[in-house]
């Protein structure tokens, strides 16, 4: 009997999780559609995320700057918030409030678009620079027989303090 009840609770929990995931994806898709993102934007985002993750895995210098990976999550949250705002009804109480609401919505859309297009590519380029700089310091250190202590720009800043 205990196994059957556990199985039923597991089915309910799985259905609840599935409906939650479907709702989140629907809201995210609505935000992406409202912002005018195409499948190529999604590919750009996923490619940048994958490249950044592989650079983080492969380089200790890039892992020191892992905190910047939050920009990927912020980009998704901005798109999600635009999709969530599309469910709200526009205010009909006064013209001035409606204009303010429309201008804030357009500002939020501009911020979401800028963040989604700029942040992933810029972050991937920054991580690639860190990896290149670390490899360059290792190569120079191996030629002279002495390992360079300054493995990245952040390490030189930490040393200066």
What's the pLDDT score for residue 33?
A: 84
The tokens describing 47, both together, are 């490619």
- What whole-number distance in Å separates Cα of residue 142 and Cα of residue 148? 8
What's the pLDDT score for residue 84?
A: 78
CA 94 remoteness from chain centre: 37
- What whole-number distance in Å separates Cα of residue 47 and Cα of residue 125? 12
Which residues does the chain have with pLDDT short of 70?
A: 1, 87-93, 145-161
- What whole-number distance in Å separates Cα of residue 104 and Cα of residue 93? 17
CA-to-CA separations, 120 to 11, 79, 99, 129, 132, in angstroms, rounded: 38, 14, 32, 14, 18
What's the pLDDT score for residue 125?
A: 93
Short-list 91, 88, 114, 111, CA closest to 101: 91
What's the pLDDT score for residue 27?
A: 80
Q: Where are the domains of the chain?
A: 2-160
Predicted TM-score (pTM) of the model is 0.67
The residue to which tokens 């950044």 are assigned: 52
Q: Which helix (H) or strand (E) holds 85?
A: helix 70-85
């Amino acid at each position: 009997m205990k196994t059957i009840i556990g199985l039923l609770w597991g089915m309910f929990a799985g259905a609840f999780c599935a409906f939650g995931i479907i709702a989140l994806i629907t809201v995210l898709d609505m935000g992406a559609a409202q912002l005018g993102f195409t499948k190529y934007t999604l590919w750009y985002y996923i490619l940048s995320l994958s490249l950044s993750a592989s650079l983080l895995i492969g380089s200790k210098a890039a892992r020191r700057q892992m905190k910047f990976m939050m920009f990927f999550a912020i980009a998704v949250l901005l798109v999600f918030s635009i999709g969530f705002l599309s469910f709200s009804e526009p205010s009909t109480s006064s013209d001035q409030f409606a204009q303010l609401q429309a201008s804030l919505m357009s500002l939020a859309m501009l911020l979401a678009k800028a963040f989604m297009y700029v942040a992933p590519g810029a972050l991937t380029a920054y991580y690639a620079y860190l990896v290149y700089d670390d490899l360059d310091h290792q190569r120079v250190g191996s030629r002279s027989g002495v390992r360079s202590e300054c493995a990245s720009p952040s390490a030189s800043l930490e040393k200066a303090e």
